[in-house]
Structure 1
Amino acid sequence: MKREKLASQLSADLAVLQRKWHAAVQSGQALPSYEEVMLGSLGRLADNMALLELSVARPGVTRTGRYVQQWLGDERWDIPLDTLSPDCAMALVQVASSALQNKRPYLSTAHFVRDGIVQKYVLLALPTASRWGNTLVGVYVNEDGLRYNLLDAIFSSTDDGIVSLTAIRGSDGRPFDFQIVHLNEGASALLQQSVNALQWSLLSGGRNFLCEPAVMARLLALVDSGGQDSLSIDTDNRNLSLGVTAFGDIVSLTISDITSLKKREESFRLLFDGNPMPMWVFDAATTEFLNVNDAAVQHYGYDRDAFLRMTLREIWPRDEWAAHSLALLQVGDSYQSGGNWRHLKADGTEIQVMTFGRRVVFNDREGFLVAVVDVTERRKAEAKIAHMAHHDGLTNLPNRALYQERLQQALEQARGGGGRVAVLCIDLDLFKNVNDSFGHPMGDRLLRCVADRLRAQIGGNDLVARLGGDEFAVVLASVASPNEASDVAARLIELVSAPYDMDGLEVVIGASIGIALAPGDGDDCDVLMRSADMALYRAKAAGGGCHHFFEKEMDRQAQRRRDMERDLRHAFARGEFDLHYQPLIDLAEDRVSGFEALLRWHHPERGMVSPADFIPIAEDIGLIVGLGEWVLRQACLEAARWPNDVKIAVNLSPVQFRSRNLVQVVISALAQSGLSPRRLELEITESLFLADSEANLATLHQLRSLGVRISMDDFGTGYSSLSYLRSFPFDKIKIDRSFVKDLTERPDCLAIVRAIAGLGRSLNITTLAEGVETVEQLDALRAEGCHEVQGFLFSPARPAAEIAGLLMKFGHAASKAA
């Protein structure tokens, strides 16, 4: 739960910085000024900012915030880039150079290793122009995502090369490159470059076989799909075998040199006798060993005479006899094991091997020459990496990935047997006080103690995991009733709430638990977790120290709203919003007089979301101010490309008036776009006058003094429309679509339209009717003297690319404004 909060805050920070950059761009300038973007109002974001100057003889970081200083490990200012650690310097140069090249903000991610921990960071570069004529780039740095332990033990000494890569993703979220974050000496030897030269380098700029396009393509495909792969690389003088394992953005490579095996045809005796790989020849009919080399004798521990009295079965584990025998029956002239086999050494030790064989004639007997590659240590290393990918580095409990996997298994089993599965979300009460009072090391110790207590209590087919921070979760794979889940939750709260002895200091915390039961509260992982999470919120709201079940009827609406809020906070930063434009038709001249800009949200999962659903929520959570500013700027920029007599209408929210900088925003949008104020119409609703009407009226008069036209939207649906017309001299009133819909069927609707049109003529106010869909409605509105109309009869709202066609369709030249 806290991880999601941190991710949400990170997205909000990125959105704020990008809006600030775009708002500072002046008309005719490629880059905004450094002073407008970086000075004065960054607040807490300043701690995460670094200022780079690249256009000097010795590029460097001129200013840093406190967070960036910790990240760099250097509290100085004016630091040359070539004195920083290579990983930090490379990440800063890459994102800053991309921002300068594109002349706009550039978002990137990077991975760093600190004390054996791989950390993922998000970097946002903001290019600016300074008053001295050079360019400065502000880079926002913050940590994001999971941390991975890369213990040096998994890179233990071995002839095989072991390399760990992290995927680098572009602005579209797809991986396009890799960075080497760790490697052993074996990898350095096989790649024929020093460890220092390879560490932190990008594959795209490298000079070894991993950088080949075909290899890169296989690695990138594996990042998307996950799992394992293997491939062979043959160069002029070497033959290599690569084993690849991917989990998330981390890719583990093991490289084996099998050159000598590939060249066995050139010199069989030399290869066999002196080869450091264990090798033998066995009889194809009896499986008796006919010959073994010194490496096999040393590796397996049998003396040569003993080896030559044995058969293959004696080095196979009994449970694999059948599988080995079947493989021998199916072998052709050559053989390479597709997976691992298990062999037994003389002391009973079990090893994992890969075998390569070829049919030969040895001393006039038909046999097989076999070479053995011991992959035991490699598999241990891969298993260690796989364990770390599925377990929390601090507590060694299962992490979110393994938790979801086990939950999915429990749900599938329950579906087949008709049983129940319970999910318990656990959040520690008062844990923040421990961190604040005694520091994070004490907090980490406490989390390990909590994990030990939970691990001791939860066993069998059930699972306890740490999801992040002080949040834990439990899967009860089979519960007989809600009472059983309630009893478990009560025991866990009592268990976690018992005092902890920390070096003689008594520490007391508590726990709150939310419970969801499948199938009633959801039948898949995500739904069930969300249900338990909502129940946890209820438990926390009740004061903590208790558990609460999910209640579907009470929380359905709250769940939908929270989902919408979360998605809205990310939508702007992800570029999911777009503007469409609906034509306004002048009835007297039968042509397009303007367009209304209408906001559209392309949700990646829900598709097109109705503005009626998301605009009220955006207003409630304060996003409408920044979103409305973006709409105004984009609409003005687009309208500046149209003929001079075509207007643009933009809707304003009452919340934008409360920000008290609306007039400045309008002035900036007009200046940036070069649009004439007389071509801008701002549409407001009657709700604007319900609160602080005097201040809002003053703002309206300021806007009108600029030359901007003011229109009242949805006229006739409020409480005091006529009094509002007395309060402010509107340029236009828009007749609500609810009156137009039944215009030809209901006399009362016709009477209302007639009255509004007459009122407009009397007050010299333009009247526009919305929602026109039929020719009959159009004829009636024309007869009643309405000036303008809009609706599906003419066109729905269309993307900006279709505006030229609409202008031509309705008899208007589509030339660009001068």
Structure 2
Amino acid sequence: MIAAKKLSATADIKVFDDIPALQRKWQAAVRPGQVLPGYEEVMLGSLGRMADHIVLLKSQGDSYEVSRSGRYVQQWLGDERWDIPLEVVPPDCARALAEAANCALQTGRPHLAVAHCVRDGLVQTYDILALPTASRWGVKLVGAYINEQGPRYNLVDAIFSSTDEGIVSLAAIRNSENQAFDFQIVHHNQGAARLLRVALPDLQWRRLSEGGHALCLPEVTRWLLSMIAKKASGLEASGQLEIDSDDRNLRLTATAFGDLVSLTVSDVTEIKRRDASFRLLFDGNPMPMWVFEAETMRFISVNDAAVAHYGYERDAFLRMELKEIWPRDEWDAHTRAITQLDDSYQSERNWRHIKADGSEIQVLTYGRRVAFDGREGFLVAVVDITERRKAEARVAHMAHHDALTDLPNRVFYQERLAQALDHNDPERHVAVLCIDLDLFKNVNDSFGHPTGDRLLKQVAERMRGEVRGNNLVARLGGDEFAVVLTSDVTLNEVNEFAARLIEVISAPYEMGDDLEVVIGASIGIAISPGDGTTSEELMRNADMALYRAKAEGGGVHHFFEREMDRQAQKRRDMELDLRSAYVDGEFELHYQPLVDIAADRIVGFEALLRWKHPDKGMISPADFIPVAEDIGLIVALGEWVLRSACAEAAKWPDDVKVAVNLSPVQFRSRNLVQVVVAALAYSGLSPRRLELEITESVFLAETEANIATLHQLRALGVRISMDDFGTGYSSLSYLRSFPFDKIKIDRSFVKDLVERPDCMAIVRAISGLGRSLNITTTAEGVETMAQLEQLRAEGCNEVQGYLFSAAKPAGELDQLLQKFGCCATQAA
């Protein structure tokens, strides 16, 4: 042992000196501009005694060749040959050299590695320093320095000495009659001394009969003697015994070889405690649990919770096999799962179990392999998810069905439609019907939403009664429904179905309390493959057909036509162009003069929005204004119009006003007053010179809020005018709701003023109404002198129209003011 230590120290010193010296030598050999030093500068020359420890490896693509080796290396490799593949040397040496060489070549730097080799049960540790070099032949060479470090040690002895378990060899002691009666310890390790709580020297050669430790218990001696007797009888002589020693539990494992017994001592105290805890947790656990035997699949233990939950008596449970609680149609699936069990198991699916009363439950199971009463088994915990699955089913149903009517919802409808299109032959027809209830809003407004909800339920029941088989009816939202006819339907069949559905929906509804409600339905229809091959196409086209049906007054069904798609595409193009036009500044304002008939002069201009498309030319406001309102662009656009018109009007004479049209959409933005104030402040225009023109549609929605906004604007000093008077539903009531400054007579009455007496009567009535209420009246669309004279005769205050001028850009207004400022009617 002392010699080994000295050799180890010498080796350590050698390694300490050699490795830094070789690293310095390699570094000194690197020339400027070189990646690797040359082989000759590093491996040849003053290596001295280190040459015996060096092997030269030649790189051969993915492998190496032993080109040269020193005597020490040859002994290490067990091979004195040169120019041999590295693969032919012992694998542990070859692997260590190859890994060190690879690292050195990859990094381009010396690489120090440690290798462990086992020879004749002795573990040897080596330092390997790999030095990458270049050669003039273009081949990369690696010089590897190898030297042993530290002492060698016996692997078996090391394991024997270091194990935590106690290892004891016992020899039987026989009496004069050749009967074994005692045992003597002939060998042991440190683990045995620690577990038996006896000093290491005191155990050697000690007899068990002398006492003093756990192996001296009488039951241990009897057990060991039985081992000797079994061996003498030619039987297998091995086994286990557990004993209690002080506060510990020890497990003894013995094997007899003639009169010698090999004994292993293990401390199983913690295992016993865990077993006790297991028993406590198993027996008292509120979750049903059992242990079944892995080989026979019979129950070997069940806890109280399992007995109570499944309803079997404990004795009955313990006579059963697992398959007796499985439904017969799942026997194969259960059996396959059992045969594939690892040490632990968790359900990847729901299982069905049968209780004692024959009812079925759905469960998840969790298992772990355990040793139970000396048998290999599985501990299983059971989670009953029957109620959870019912709840999940209810949630899934709710996710795919409308809460009010219990009809399939939009998500379910789209899934079913996609499936119908996927599963059908491309030549077969699938019909989509989009249904909208006519007059349903009147029911909600007149009788309240609870009545409306009851009505929707009755509508759903009627539709459910008409849609049968694989077909589907769904509620998409509000009073919108949809039907998919998945069978191969003809045009006539769809036509008859739609007509019948409208008739069924339109029949009167008894709502209770002597209330009868009558509504109608409009239907748009698209049929695959002609109207589309995807669910998105069919739904979109059916919706366009519904729009056409509603436009025709409702109560009808309409099939999709390609012209609808063309109009829709035109609308989409218009939306895109409008957004671009706003960003690119393509809009401009033109101004049409307002002429005071009595004063015979221009008193104002109406600002009119114009859009000159770079490719399509001038686009009519009648085409783009409704689209701008639908997409919400009218709010930003209207703000620009107000600001620009006020800025332009500030340049005109002080007695000339500017009139700006407001969209009902601008009222919904709720910041209209602030926009007007900002425009006036920005331009410096007096509020009395600004007229804001509205249509009666402003009063059709959120009346109180809109009237409040109008009062705020009027409080600023701004004049409020009602445009297109007489063309709506109840204009007279609006005059009573708000004190307008002006009403404008629509051009439809002025156009036929001379030829039609009824138009003359309407103009006379409106003019008289204006005089009575002290409201200015303005006639639009005046194109002839005859129209002008009639309007003058009826007492109309102002006129505008082509008779005086079309709307002009701001740059031409000075000419108009100079030309018509004093004598507009004479000039006309």
Please report the TM-score for the alignment, with normalisation by the length of structure 1.
0.41
Query: Quick one: higher RCO (CA 8 Å, sep 6+), 1 or 2?
Result: 1
State the TM-score, normalized to the length of structure 2: 0.40
Which of structures 1 and 2 has the bigger CA Rg?
2
